[in-house]
Structure 1
Amino acid sequence: MAASVLEMAGIESTGLLAKSRLDFSLNLQGDFKDVEDRKHRAVYETLADSDQKLQYYSARQIGCRLLGSRGYLCQKCWLPMEDCMCSKLAPCNLWRGIRFWLYMHPKDFLRQNNTGKLLWQVFGIQAASLCLFGIQEHEDIMWDAFQRSGKAKVSFLYPNKSATPKSVNDLKFDDFTMNAGLQEGGVQHEPLNLVLLDGTWSNSAALYRRLKV
Structure 2
Amino acid sequence: MSELEAWEDLSNIPADPPVMRDLCAACERPSVVCWCSALPAERLTPQSNVILLQHPAEEKRCLRTAPMLQLGLAENKCLIFKGKKFPLPKHENLENILLQPNTVLLYPSKTAVDIRDLENKDESYNLVLIDGTWPQAKAIYASSPILHKIKQVKLLTSTSSSYIIRTQPTEGCLSTLETAAEALSQLENNPLYKEQLVQPLHMLCKYQLENGAVTHQSKEFLIKTKTYPKLIGKRLSKLLKSTNECVLNQS
What is the TM-score with the length of structure 2 in the denominator? 0.42
For normalisation by structure 1, the TM-score amounts to 0.48
Return the index of the structure with the highest Cα Rg. Answer: 2
